[in-house]
Amino acid sequence: MPLLEVNGLQVEFKTHDAAVRAVNGVSFALEEGETLGIVGESGSGKSQTVLAMLGLLASNGRASGQALYRGENLLGMPAKALNRIRGNRLSIIFQDPMSSLNPYLTIERQMTEVLELHKNLTRREAKKRAISMLEAVRIPEAAHRIGQYPHELSGGMRQRVMIAMALLCEPDILFADEPTTALDVTVQAQVLQLLRDLQRDFGTSIVLITHDLGVVAGLCEKVMVMYGGRVMEQCDASTLFAKPSHPYTIGLLRALPRLDQEGGELAGIPGNPPNMAHPPAGCPFHERCADATAECGERAPALEAVGTHGLRACHRPADALITRYQEQSHV
Ligand SMILES: Nc1ncnc2c1ncn2[C@@H]1O[C@H](COP(=O)(O)OP(=O)(O)OP(=O)(O)O)[C@@H](O)[C@H]1O
Ligand SMILES: [Mg+2]
């Protein structure tokens, strides 16, 4: 049994003028110790996919489908049972640590509270555990820092504290929603290295949300590319980088700076993601896709297996797209 198995997840928001289907039939499995990247531009449904599983949707949102954690469906689970799992077996870190840390409480207070609640530790034991976790995320002088308030720490350090807090109860799965976006490039690299180390040392499974395929390359074994609430392509990360088979994935890869092609032009994907209150008919990407045909505007392609490659949702032949990409990028 996979650690986490998501089947046909849908998320719908009620708004005054329309029902917004933010996530439309997402399915994936996560094995123990595995790292999955969820990639896509802004608004593609990445965050809502994860928030839905953790019961954290806004009040106008509703999730359906299945999200089985060790065989138990998280969707529709009573609040009490879900609370016990959340923050203990499943943890989440967000992009902006300041929005999740309480500015009025010391780091010690925020960390020990979690342990007292979920692990029944005494204040003293909890503090010891909290300090060792701060050391694990390489906060220098952890025993001193733990007495400080969030604003006394740098942005990179606050993000480390967030990660330490998320890992306190040794969760099975760490969901990280754009954990490095707000940080400068050097600190980004350090935080990613930290996640890699933690995964090695604690065997934590990670679901990493990012709009940056470069981040996926460094950390993830599997990747799921989302657009307009749907999965466009889903496969091993190494396959995705060597043989992308979906025009959207190819567009994202083209937008990545490449160290070996200095001065080369960076081609972003022209146009903007769709307004999910009024999504286009057919494939959500067809309006921006240079390869689209009439069929693409009429019928949304199903997510189907392509040989041993993985899964993709596209009407155009995979082989031709892969070959063209490889020729044009000289890989
Ligand atoms: N409470 C809400 N009411 C209505 N629509 C919502 C609500 N929350 C999110 N949405 C819509 O759901 C869609 C998916 O949002 P989501 O937050 O998952 O995007 P994302 O892929 O995480 O993007 P980003 O990279 O910007 O974080 C968006 O179109 C968004 O506007
Ligand atoms: Mg998001």
Domain membership flag for residue 106: no
- Atom number, ligand 1, closest to the C-alpha of residue 276: 29
Ligand found nearest the CA of 275: 1
- Alpha-carbon distance of 136 to 110, in angstroms, equals 17
Of the candidates 63, 210, 198, the residue with the CA atom closest to the CA atom of residue 138: 198
Domain membership flag for residue 289: yes
- Alpha-carbon distance of 288 to 10, in angstroms, equals 24
Contact status, residue 80 vs residue 58, Cβ threshold 8 Å: no
Domain membership flag for residue 293: yes
Q: What mean pLDDT is predicted for residues 302-327?
A: 93
- Atom number, ligand 1, closest to the C-alpha of residue 48: 18
Ligand found nearest the CA of 44: 1
Domain membership flag for residue 253: yes
Domain housing 308: 244-329
Q: What is the pLDDT of residue 119?
A: 85
Ligand found nearest the CA of 92: 2
- 112-155 per-position pLDDT tens digit: 988 888 888 999 999 999 999 999 888 999 999 999 999 999 98
- Alpha-carbon distance of 92 to 242, in angstroms, equals 30
Would you say the CB of residue 211 lies under 6 angstroms from ligand 1? yes
Q: What is the pLDDT of residue 204?
A: 92
Would you say the CB of residue 275 lies under 6 angstroms from ligand 1? no
- Alpha-carbon distance of 88 to 117, in angstroms, equals 10
Residue 23 has pLDDT above 70, yes or no: yes
Residue with CA closest to ligand 1 atom 24: 42
Domain membership flag for residue 145: no
Domain membership flag for residue 276: yes
Per DSSP, the chain holds a count of helices (H) and strands (E) of: 13, 12
| pLDDT-above-90 percentage for the chain | 68
Contact status, residue 307 vs residue 282, Cβ threshold 8 Å: no
Q: What is the pLDDT of residue 264?
A: 55
Domain membership flag for residue 266: yes
In this structure, what DSSP letter does residue 3 have?
Answer: S
Scan for tokens 């439309």, then name that residue: 24
Would you say the CB of residue 276 lies under 6 angstroms from ligand 1? yes
In this structure, what DSSP letter does residue 86 have?
Answer: B
Provide the 3-class DSSP secondary structure of residue 176: strand
Q: What mean pLDDT is predicted for residues 297-307?
A: 94
Model confidence at 190, in pLDDT bands (50, 70, 90)? confident
Strand pairing class (222-227; 35-39): parallel
Of the candidates 99, 102, 104, 176, the residue with the CA atom closest to the CA atom of residue 137: 176
C-alpha 49 to ligand 2 mean position (Å): 9
- CB neighbours of residue 76 within 10 Å: 11
In the chain, how many domains are there?
1
Would you say the CB of residue 58 lies under 6 angstroms from ligand 1? yes
Determine if the pTM surpasses 0.85.
yes
Q: Give the chain's radius of gyration (CA, Å).
A: 21
Residues paired with residue 206 on neighbouring β-strands, in sequence order: 35, 174
- Atom number, ligand 1, closest to the C-alpha of residue 226: 21
Q: What is the pLDDT of residue 268?
A: 80
203 phi/psi in degrees, rounded to 5? 65, 20
- CB neighbours of residue 300 within 10 Å: 21
